[in-house]
Chain A
Amino acid sequence: MKQTALLETHKLSKSFGGLAAVQDVDFHVNKGEIVSVIGPNGAGKSTFFNVITGLYRPTSGRVFLEGQEITGQRPDAVLSRGIARTFQNIRLFANMTVLENVLVGQHARLRSGILGDIFKGPRTRREEREARHHAYEVMSQFGSRLTGQANTLARNLAYADRRYLEIARAMASNPKLLLLDEPTVGMNPAETEEAMRHIARLQRTGLTIVLIEHKLNVVMSMSDRVVVLDYGQKIAEGTPAEVRSDERVIEAYLGRRQTTAMAAGLATVADRAAPDASYAPDAS
């Protein structure tokens, strides 16, 4: 653990007015790991991602990538440093084609300036050609799902394909670290299975991945480590097996055994327990 982590946060906090969405979170990912961030709805997982990628300025705390501080940098600067992400509610460029989306993902990698774009000299031409090749390489990682519809507008893709396109768009920037915000949400079990295989394969190519996930079967089967957030705080961290048996985690997901559950209201409990039914047997 003393090796320099790829990504590290020190006491990272983000408050919105009086609401502490993320509180003093210490977090690290080592190179090549898949780390999952789990927690009930509203635990601050997406906010955590947003602070890391520069969409929000942290209220306090620091973020380091490969030992270098990136706290509070703009999203595009963070991407150039090597952190790419996807969004919980897919945010593709809906009226651009699949190929164009992946090309935009390479924006920071490409060098052509405004004059190069106008005059299209040999260097710009070569760069554009290589960008297209690279785009096809990235897309072909997902079989023919994307390459087969390279000229389809993103808005016309099937749901699962949109998820893959978002991952491909992020991959196109050649990131060191990929942040996936609920990549399998809305997918049926077969699609989830396929998505998991793809994510596992990305890891094998040397990519480091942080995953926000609700489906605990996904989390448990593929994570090297799991970090649990609740009310913005890190309440547990460890291997999937450790986290699974952690008293606080069970409490966060299912509520306290006796009175608190009633106080919190049944609806909340049901809502919080819903993400994964397979969790219940383990808890009992």
Chain B
Amino acid sequence: MSQQLRTTRRLSVPDGRPWQIAGLVALVLALLFPLALALTSQAQIWLDTVAYAEVFAILALGLNVVVGFAGLLDLGYAAFYAIGAYTFGLLASGQASNFLPGNVTLNLPFLNVASSGVHQGVHLSFWLALPVCGLIAATFGVILGAPTLRLRGDYLAIVTLGFGEIVPEVITNLGPDNSLGWPNLTNGTNGVSGLDQPKVLGLQFSTDQLPWYYLGLVALVVIIFIAGRLENSRLGRAWIAMREDELAASCMGINLTRTKLAAFAMGAFFSGIAGMINGSRLQTITPDSFKFEVSITILTMVVLGGMGSIPGVLIGAFIVAAVQLTLLDQLTNFLQYIGGAVHSSFLQAVDLTQGKNLIFGLLLVLMMIFRREGLFPSRRRSIELRPATTQEQAEENIQLAGLREEA
């Protein structure tokens, strides 16, 4: 029995050992990455790009819980990204001074917030705000998830799409002198600025991107760990079972309400943390940085990498982020340079960054035609999405024939 159990444990992790080794290698490389950059003159630009990519990777891993594990297509995922960011805006900037009379500052020893500037508004330590932003986003995940519980597939997608549009709209309209007579929570279209930045043991985070890079890396590693643990757990099994056959899952004792909401909450939690980190890093948040486009970009990462596969989604996130954040720019510059050299006014006027959506759209179409399961799918998903082989088809036909005889 124990022999049996041992083999089982190893095999029941479908994307086992090779990925673990690859992950460790990647981690070591990631730790050393800034050293390599030190040789170039553009280290800050690169670090900024990669730190942003890390935020995207966190988002993609969160969406992967909802879409990949639980099979709930969420097209409004950026809403929770926004909620995390704006929660931090209220908890750690001067924004709250617009409607709160006093000032609140709450620091942790060695981990206090930026002490630059005036201490108006609420200034909760970054590290205290971290779980708060995650949990508030998760709460909204449950609130927005609850009405969708009975919906599946396309219908769920449409409703979440609606939520994704509503949230930035509401944020825009909760600015100064809003028609509801509410306090100025969000500063409207101008957004919240002057967000606090964290401090660890005397190291004050600021515009230097190196600490942000490492913070993102740590957050990413923690979230990969959590997602991996969840995948192979009681809850993870329930998610997969629910994705496979809701009715049978329910008859096997899985509470569909709770299981779905857990997925929404978990995904929103990751998203909220990503929003907070990025908000703090950029020090400014505006409503239009959380639009539908962002949801789609994150979904592209998940689909491209392989729904349900943690390594796949990570790779997908970095590919898409690279294309979006730097490759298009670089390519545009290159083409314009060539254009200048060959005196082609067409090439000189090329701007690929304008065609970002076109490129992602094409990418998705091509993926759906040629590799639906993504570049690095989980084994389970790749089987699921690939049409049955002729052998399997034949077996099924035989069974069907048998059934017909019986009936």
Contact = CB atoms under 8 A, between A and B. Distances in A.
Interface of A: 41, 53, 55, 74-76, 79-80, 84-85, 87, 91-97, 99-100, 103-105, 107-110, 112, 114, 117-120, 124, 128-129, 132-133, 136, 147, 150-151, 153, 155-156, 159, 169-170, 173, 185-186, 214, 274-275
Given A95-B384, A136-B1, A185-B406, A118 B230 contact: yes
Interface string B228-244: 01100111111011001
A232 to B, nearest CB: 20
A117 B253 contact: no
The size class of the interface chain B forms with chain A is 35 or more
B248 A93 contact: yes
The 7 closest A-B pairs by CB, nearest first: A108-B253, A117-B233, A91-B248, A79-B253, A93-B244, A75-B250, A151-B11
Contacts of A275: 406
Nearest to B378: A95
Contact of B235 (A114, A129, A173): A114
Interface string B242-262: 001101111111111000001
Interface string B336-355: 00000000000000000000
B5 interface: yes
A59 B168 CA distance: 44
A84 B252 CA distance: 7
Contacts of A91: 245, 247-248
B270 to A, nearest CB: 12
A92 B228 CA distance: 24
A150 B237 contact: no
A100 B12 contact: yes
7 contacts: A55-B247, A84-B251, A107-B237, A132-B5, A133-B5, A151-B8, A185-B403
Interface of B: 1, 4-5, 7-9, 11-12, 226, 229-230, 233-238, 240-241, 244-245, 247-256, 262, 266, 380-381, 383-384, 392, 399, 402-403, 406-407
A132 B253 contact: no
B237 A96 contact: yes
Contact of A80 (B240, B253, B399): B253
Contacts of A156: 392
Nearest to B382: A95
Contact of A74 (B244, B250, B399, B407): B250
Contacts of B4: 136, 147, 150
Contacts of B9: 132
B402 A159 contact: yes
B266 A107 contact: no
Contacts of B233: 112, 117-118, 120, 124, 128
B383 A107 contact: no
A186 B407 CA distance: 9
A272 to B, nearest CB: 11
Contact of A107 (B8, B238, B402, B407): B238
Contact of B229 (A97, A120, A170): A120
